[in-house]
Each structure stands twice: as structure tokens, then as C-alpha cells.
Amino acid sequence: MAFTLPTAIESRPVAVIGAGTLGRRIALMFCDRGGEVRICDPSKPALEDARAYVDANIAKVAAKVGGTPGRVDITDSQKDAVADAWLVIEAVPEHLDLKRDIFGKLDALAEPDAILASNSSSYASSEFIDNVKHPERVLNMHFYMPPLQNALDMMSDGHTDPAIFTFLEKVLPQYGLHPFLARKESTGFIFNRIWAAIKREALEVVAEGVSTPQDVDAMWRINMGTPAGPFLMMDHVGLDVVLDIESHYAAENPNLPKGPRELLKKYVDAGHLGVKTGQGFYMYGKDGEPVGPGDTTVALEKAER
């Protein structure tokens, strides 16, 4: 079924459903051209933190695209969030039933010409459109870690109107974002499939007791010339999110090693989720910067058996 592309997008808001680590970063990117972004979440503290994050970073991000800082509004009402929005982006935890429920509601609430996108990092959008009457406007639009990593994957749900991809390929760069189209359905999309293999092997090296998160990261920085290694990057994503993603890969491929999931689960069970809890593979100060290694007894427990 054909879809009528949104018009007058400069004067219409973007809605982000979910105020977590990625939700607030996505909102930041769409707030850099003087427009309105609405963040929706049932948690008031998460909403306040998300708004503070955007307010603290928007001037610098807007300057990079030659734009002007926009306005971020927060709400716990999905209906209010999506009213007149031209783009709605789901950024909730990686739980399939939750996504199915949310997309059914968004399809009923959003404007007829609104594009409905999922930031899911592991689930294809075809898996959660059961309650959607207009799948031609739904797609995966997976972000990495903006504003530092601004590539994103786009992927069809099997029914997505191709005109949406052409439209977004033209519009998204205006916000400092760089879209790449997965040309067939793929768990993990494009870059994430490559990153998953690197991340999994880094976790296995630590799970086996061969090295520590800090030493792996130090070698990575020296050899790759990047400011952060895989363990620091996982801390920024959230180790609970990383575990959810790895568990999804393992459900599709039972031959994957168990060590990475077992190691992640130890941290998650201990409440060490990364930057958002102040401790993961590293300890973090109030500014979110690492101040030392995390609880290495968690990491080394498996190796000492």
C-alpha cells in the first residue's frame, strides 16, 4: 500500500518514545534545527534527565549542522507526544511484546502521514507489526551513539513504502545524521552485526580470564586510534541493554558462546549497568566520565573457578 509522505516537517515536531540513553540522544539530534522534539516516558525522573541532557548539549550539536537550538518538551502521554508529529521514533527496552504493544498504539494515535520508526538494535520491525494497520509507514531506524556516532541503519518491515527511504536519505543529513539502507532483512542490520562479533569476542576474552576490560580497551585505543574501547562503549549503552541484545542473538543462534552472556549477567545482577548506575566495567563520576576500573571481582569470578 502506498504511503503519503509527511509535509511541512519544518513546523511539525518529532516524537521520541523512551527517555533512556538512546532516546535522549536521538531527541538531541532532532532538536538541532530550531524545531520541537517531544520525549515521552512513564518515568518523570527519566524525562527530567533527558531534557537536562538535551539542554546541556544542544548548542554544540546545532552549531555543527549550522542550525539553531530547538525546544524539547516532555510528557508521559503518548497521545500528546505524537500529536501532529511527522516522525515518531520508538526507543524503549528490547522486549518484543512491549514493542508490539507500543507500535499498535502509535499506529492508532499518530497522524496518517507520520513515519513510525523503531530504534531497536536487534529486532527487525517485521517482528512487532502484528497490531499495526499501516505497516507501509513502519521501519527500523537504528541509531548508534549520537552525537558522536551519527550513522544509522534503515530497514524495511517487509511492507515499508520505498518512498520513505528516499525521503529520509534526503532529510536526515540535514540533522547531522547519516542513513544507510539494509537491502534485506538482517538481525543486527549492517554495522551492528560487525560490532556484535567484536563485542562478543571481547567479552569472551574477559570471561575466560585471558584479560581484563581495562586492558582490552587500552590495547584497542592503541591499535585502533579511537578514544574508547569496546568495554567503555558497552558501559555507555548500558550492560542490561547489551545483555538483552546478546540474548536475542543467542536465541537465533544457540551455537554462540555462553561466556559473554554469563559475564554480562553477573554485572546486571549486581546492579552494575554502566554509566547510568555509576558503575559497570568502569566506575563513573557525576559527569559520566570514568574514574577507575569497576568491580573486577565480578569480571574475574568465572576465571577463578
- pLDDT at 301 exceeding the cut of 80: no
CA distance 272 to 250: 22
Does residue 144 sit within a domain?
A: yes
Q: With bands split at pLDDT 50, 70 and 90, how would you rate the model's confidence at 304?
A: very low
pLDDT the model gives residue 1: 63
- pLDDT at 237 exceeding the cut of 80: yes
pLDDT the model gives residue 122: 79
Question: How do 149-156 and 178-181 pair as beta strands?
Answer: parallel
Which of 257, 258, 252, 263 minimizes the C-alpha distance to 123? 252
Q: With bands split at pLDDT 50, 70 and 90, how would you rate the model's confidence at 188?
A: confident
Counted domains in the chain: 2
Question: How do 282-284 and 290-293 pair as beta strands?
Answer: antiparallel
Share of the chain above pLDDT 90, in %: 86
Does residue 32 sit within a domain?
A: yes
For the chain, how far is it from start to end, CA to CA, in angstroms? 58
Q: What average pLDDT does the segment 267-290 reach? A: 94
**What CATH number did the domain enclosing 250 receive?**
1.10.1040.10
8 Å CB contact between 188 and 249: yes
- pLDDT at 299 exceeding the cut of 80: no
| 85 and 210 assigned to the same domain | no
Whether this prediction's pTM lies above 0.95 is answered by no
- Domain of residue 138: give its range: 9-181
Q: What are the residues whose beta carbons fall under 8 Å from the beta carbon of 101, sequence distance 6 or more?
A: 131
| 128 and 83 assigned to the same domain | yes
Q: What average pLDDT does the segment 28-55 reach? A: 96
Q: With bands split at pLDDT 50, 70 and 90, how would you rate the model's confidence at 265?
A: very high
Does residue 115 sit within a domain?
A: yes
Does residue 231 sit within a domain?
A: yes
| 137 and 239 assigned to the same domain | no
For 215-228, what is each residue's pLDDT tens digit? 999 999 999 999 99
For residue 118, give the H/E element and its range.
Answer: strand 115-118
